[in-house]
Amino acid sequence: MYQKFAYWLQENDCLRLQQALEKDGISYSIAKNAVCRPLSKRWTVGIVPPQIWSQAKLCKRQLSWYWLSPHAGQFLVISDFDLSSYTLSPQIILEKSSLKPKSFPPAEEQQDMIQKKSYLQAKPDEWDDLDLDSEELKKWMKIMGIRGLNFRDIFLTHCANHANFLEPIYYLQKNNSIIPYSISNKTKYLCSACLEFFNIIGEEYKRKLVVPCPGAIIFAGLPVNTYLEVRTLD
The per-residue pLDDT for range 189-204, each reduced to its tens digit, is 999 999 999 999 999 9
Contact 29, 46 (CB under 8 A): yes
Look at residue 74 and give its three-state secondary structure.
coil
Amino acid letter, residue 7: Y
d(CA 69, CA 48): 15
Residue type, 208: K
Statement: residue 17 has pLDDT above 80: yes
Q: Structural domain boundaries of the chain?
A: 3-91, 96-232
* 191/226 Cα distance (integer angstroms): 14
pLDDT > 80? residue 218: yes
The lowest-confidence range among 38-47, 60-69, 86-95, 144-153 is: 144-153
Give pLDDT tens digits for 43-84. 999 999 999 999 988 899 999 999 999 999 999 999 999 999
Is residue 133 predicted with pLDDT exceeding 70? no
- Per-residue pLDDT at 132 exceeds 70: no
Q: Specify the pairing of strand 45-48 against strand 29-30.
A: parallel
- Average pLDDT of the residues in 27-44: 96
What does pLDDT average to over the chain? 94
* 28/43 Cα distance (integer angstroms): 8
pTM above 0.75, yes or no: yes
The 228-232 sheet, strands edge to edge: 29-30, 45-48, 75-79, 3-9, 92-96, 228-232, 207-210
Burial of 68 (0-12, 13-18, 19+ CB in 10 A): middle
